Amino acid sequence: MSLTDLTLQELSTKLAAREVSAVEATRACLDRIRAVDGQVHAFLRVDEQGALAAAAASDSRRGAGGALSQLEGVPLALKDNLLTEGLETTCASRILGGFIPPYDATVVRLLKDAGAVLLGKTNQDEFAMGSSNETSAFGPCHNPYALDRAPGGSSGGSAAAVAAREAFGALGTDTGGSIRQPAALCNVVGLKPTYGRVSRFGVIAFASSLDQVGPLGRTVADVAALLQFIARHDAQDATSVPATVPDYSAELEAGVAGMRLGLPREYFAGGMDPEVEQAVRDAARAYEQMGATLVEVSLPHTRYALAAYYLIAPAEASSNLARYDGVRYGLRAKGVRGLEELYSRTREEGFGPEVKRRIMLGTYALSAGYYDAYYLKAQKVRTLIRRDFEQALAGVDALLTPTSPVPAFRLGEKVDDPLAMYLMDVFTLPCNLAGLPGLSLPGGFTRAGLPVGLQLLGRPFDEARLLRVARAFEREHPFHARAPQL
């Protein structure tokens, strides 16, 4: 078995036992990237020199016999919207070409403090706007399980890097499903923490009331280990909540006997791929056999979630992306006459079609005469959606749903149909509107060999319970062990 076939936890154990060095693990990942990333395109840039230097420093610390973390020497990947000091960060957009951040995002600093080795920056949809990784200005990422298909988005590169055994874990961001949906399509575990659980400081903003950083890994335990180090209160982030951080690994193996799992009837509506629905219903029966009680619940305002999200998110994007004007950083249009032409030419040349579409939608929704009719009404619907979840979760420990309505679709299949692409997030975005934690885990495969994801939704700051419920299924049904053939 190749070193890169190990899970994060297995590698951590071998590093601790001095059976393998951090440099060896890092070289194995770099060799794997060279071997397969030409097909997958999970990485936008690999920091080989920096990674090897960090690995050598990790080995020196281990040799000195100091107290080390579980992530010490473990090679990880970062989504390209997380600021990295001294390493180009573009958010997969031409408008940020050549931008070298002067500081690290808080989550990046926390991983460095834990001794992790950071391999580089992963591909994504431009400014995290997309569900297929096809809006990246530098070309799409490919699904490791079927190279002609999308890996999901917007954190497609992070999910694909973990699935393709190029990294032992990764960080992504989730605004409307951008961790969970690619995790489902790439057969890995992805967690969106509660809004405020993980710092957003140093994350290039898309929609500030929705964005949240989270981990992706091959197993539930790997994700729990990553979350343990990034779940910190951060005074530099006004939305960071000073909540107690539990030991996420403490009750992973406790099982689900005696738990109540809710099945929202609105998440099993028409239009879902039959094989996806079957996999979720099979999982529900499996939980029942493990001692859980299944309860049908209702989230009646779910039908309005998609419309509300695609008013709120573009409105916030319109405001956040106004800073890209060619004056301070990134792309600056050449040969312009006057400030107005500088702004318009820079944005015309720098932003891709999907980003422009969402900026225009958001600007319209916020404009005079339309604010009350659109943005304000969407925020009221958001409140109703949150109340639905509060009521449903009052009587159950977690909700079980599909992650994506369909398995991985072919690249180019939906790119010219924005509404069809937006519908890919129909099961994931209500969780963001409510600020709740959500997790996707491998739930099986279609007859064509495409991964299917199961989604678990929980109460605020109850990530530990979601991880426990997910681990119970993973232990009995280790679909994560089926690697892609590259």
Strand partners, 441: 454
Q: Which amino acid is at 448?
A: A
Residue 377 designated active-site: no
- With contact defined as beta carbons under 8 Å apart, do 398 and 465 qualify? yes
Q: Which amino acid is at 294?
A: L
Whole-angstrom CA distances from 310 to 130, 193, 357 are 12, 21, 11
| CA angle, 256 then 257 then 262, to 5° | 60
H or E segment and range at residue 477: none
- With contact defined as beta carbons under 8 Å apart, do 125 and 354 qualify? yes
DSSP letter for 167, please.
-
Name the CA dihedral angle for 121, 123, 129, 134, rounded to a multiple of 10 degrees: 170
In the three-class reduction of DSSP (H, G, I as helix; E, B as strand; rest coil), residue 119 is classed as strand
* CA dihedral for 212, 185, 216, 32, sign (positive or negative): negative
Structure tokens, 241: 């909540």
CB neighbour class for 63 (10 Å; exposed up to 12, middle 13-18, buried from 19): exposed
Whole-angstrom CA distances from 246 to 460, 464, 486 are 13, 7, 38
Catalytic residue among 12, 58, 154, 199: 154
- With contact defined as beta carbons under 8 Å apart, do 254 and 468 qualify? yes
Which among 94, 455, 78 has a CA at the least distance from the CA of 277? 455
Strand partners, 400: 456
Name the CA dihedral angle for 17, 9, 215, 167, rounded to a multiple of 10 degrees: 70
Catalytic residue among 178, 199, 404, 440: 178
Count Cα neighbours of 283 within 13 Å in the Cβ-side half-sphere: 35
Tell me the C-alpha distance between 207 and 374, whole Å: 16
Residue 178 designated active-site: yes
The owner of tokens 């969780």 is: 431
Tell me the C-alpha distance between 109 and 448, whole Å: 41
Residues contacting residue 7 through CB under 8 Å, at least 6 positions apart? 168, 217, 218, 219, 221, 222
The owner of tokens 């993973």 is: 474
Catalytic residue among 79, 121, 192, 414: 79
Residue 380 designated active-site: no
DSSP letter for 375, please.
I
Q: Which amino acid is at 142?
A: H
Tell me the C-alpha distance between 374 and 360, whole Å: 14
Catalytic machinery residues? 79, 154, 178
